[in-house]
Amino acid sequence: IDFDLILEKVKDLNVLAGEGISQIEHTPGGARLRQPEPLSLTLYQNGIVMFNGPFRPYEDPATQQCLQDIMDGYFPSELQLRYPDGV
């Protein structure tokens, strides 16, 4: 696993998703600026943890697909239904 490449690609995806850019959230009394909630991704020597979910070993095909999406510069396909506008 090329951790440096994964971190570089995650940073690139964060920029594309608008990292640091506030969004307007309408409230009953007007509106306020809101930062999108980040998604936690923890990399370990033998696997990953996304959100606060279960440990996912690198040998798991779903984990491999997720990391391949990231390394190819794409938002992970497994997250597209949950976050249609990115995260």
The count of other CB atoms within 10 Å of the CB of residue 13 is: 18
Question: At 83, is the secondary structure helix, strand, or coil?
Answer: coil
Q: pLDDT tens-digit profile of 43-71?
A: 999 999 998 889 999 999 999 999 999 99
| pLDDT number for residue 70 | 92
Question: How confident is residue 38, by pLDDT bands cut at 50, 70 and 90?
Answer: confident
Place of tokens 């923890």: 42
Domain-located, residue 28: yes
Which residues span the domain enclosing 45?
3-82
Q: pLDDT tens-digit profile of 3-15?
A: 999 999 999 988 8
Residue 75 has pLDDT above 90, yes or no: no
Beta-strand ranges (E) seen in 1-87 are 23-27, 30-34, 41-43, 47-50, 56-57
| pLDDT number for residue 86 | 66
The enclosing domain of 32 has a CATH number of 3.30.420
* DSSP 8-state code for residue 52: T
How many separate domains does the chain show? 1
**Dist. CA 44–CA 19, nearest whole Å:** 24
